[in-house]
Amino acid sequence: MWKHLQIELYKIFHRPRTYLAFAAITALIGVIQLGLKVDGKEYTEFVMADFAGSFSVDGKILNGYFICYVILQLLLVHVPLLIALIAADMISGEANMGTLRLLLTKPQSRTEILLAKFFASVIYTILLLIWIAIMGLFLSMAIFGTDDLFIMKSSYVVVVKSSDVFWRYCGAFCFAALAMTTVAALGFFLSFFAENSIGPIVATMSVIIVCTILSTMNIPLFNLIKPYLFTSHMVTWKEFFDFKVNDANEAIIGSIQYPEKIIKSAIVLVLHIIGFVAGGIWYFKKKDVLS
């Protein structure tokens, strides 16, 4: 299994397509950082306009933590496509190239082969998120410095003390990794049903778009299924930035307001991952390879 996983990773990281995702993230984050470096003052004035009369800000809103929060909000919408590029190609790409049949004549069980492929796509997903963290968090911290994190909500502002931010980002990135692994599992599952890469990639994105719309639409008919849609739980990383307050209405350092929400979402996502992977393996174990 370990040997096969190494081989899968070797194949992933010898394909030019793999680096496309890393290049795209580098370019996107670079553009955001450049824009905020040049016009950041105007941007913060614009977003803080509603609160200008309510309180004054002592400190630097436009710091590395704030930039990373903006980047995460923007990027986590697009990253699923980059994940799908690899995960939805894991089986269908091999079928398309014709290498699948050769692979399956080797002395490994189909389950071993498929699990190695899935874990390889998970490792790719995690590396992609680590790259987002390096570029979005660490580089932003280096360029913009650090200070308290201002998070603008629709009708209020949350201010997280700078000493209380970093661990929240660690938690948010871990949760984002889980959410993106769900996307990888969905792409992996859909790749069993096609013999070209485009179909499963498009199908993965279509499922995500449809489920996201269902998750966000406030229609009673859909409210029943919302809690079970994985897309409803993919944005739960934001919960890491909501904290409890004490009787004096001061933030409790190291607290999370609704930890049960995070746990519930994580469970739903894990169940989706298990369902997609187990379903795919169950289907593929019985499949006649005719390609």
Partner 1 sequence: MEIVKVEALTKKFDQLTAVNQLSFSVLSGDVYGFLGQNGAGKSTTIRMLLTLITPTAGEIQIFGLSLLKHRKEILQQIGAVIEKPDVYKYLSAYENLTLFAKLSGIQPTRTMIMEQLEIVGLAHRANDTVKTFSQGMKQRLGIAIALVHNPQLIILDEPTNGLDPQGIADIRNLILNLSKQYKKTVIVSSHLLSEIEQIASRILIIDKGRKLVEDHAASLFDPSKTIIELDTNNNEAAYNILSNSNWGNTLQPIRNGQIILQLNKLDIPLFNQYLVSKDIAVYSLQPRHSLEDYFLQITAGKQHVEAFTN
Nearer to partner 1, 108 or 162 (CB): 108
In whole angstroms, the minimum distance from the beta carbon of 117 to partner 1 comes to: 13
Nearer to partner 1, 97 or 217 (CB): 97
Write down the residue that tokens 């406030």 correspond to: 218
| Bridge partners of residue 251, in order along the sequence | 245
Q: What is the DSSP letter of 147?
A: -
Q: Check residue 11 for interaction with partner 1 (CB under 8 A).
A: yes
Helix/strand/coil for 229: coil
Contact in structure between 138 and 33 (CB atoms under 8 Å): no
Per CB under 8 A, the list member of 2, 53, 107, 249 interacting with partner 1 is 107
- Token representation of residue 172: 């948010």
- How is 85-142 classified by DSSP, letter by letter? HHHTTTTHHHHHHTHHHHHHTSSS-HHHHHHHHHHHHHHHHHHHHHHHIIIIIIHHHH
- The contact pattern for partner 1, residues 244-263, with x = CB under 8 A and - = no contact, is --------------------
Q: Check residue 7 for interaction with partner 1 (CB under 8 A).
A: yes
Stretch that binds partner 1, among 2-10, 36-44, 232-240, 275-283 (CB under 8 A): 2-10
In whole angstroms, the minimum distance from the beta carbon of 9 to partner 1 comes to: 12
Helix/strand/coil for 150: strand
> What whole-number distance in Å separates Cα of residue 233 and Cα of residue 238?
10
Contact in structure between 145 and 232 (CB atoms under 8 Å): no
Per CB under 8 A, the list member of 4, 117, 233, 272 interacting with partner 1 is 4
Q: Check residue 109 for interaction with partner 1 (CB under 8 A).
A: yes
Nearer to partner 1, 56 or 105 (CB): 105
- The contact pattern for partner 1, residues 85-104, with x = CB under 8 A and - = no contact, is ------------xxx-xxxx
Q: Given the rule CB under 8 A, which residues bind partner 1?
A: 3-4, 7, 10-11, 14-16, 97-99, 101-109, 286, 288-290
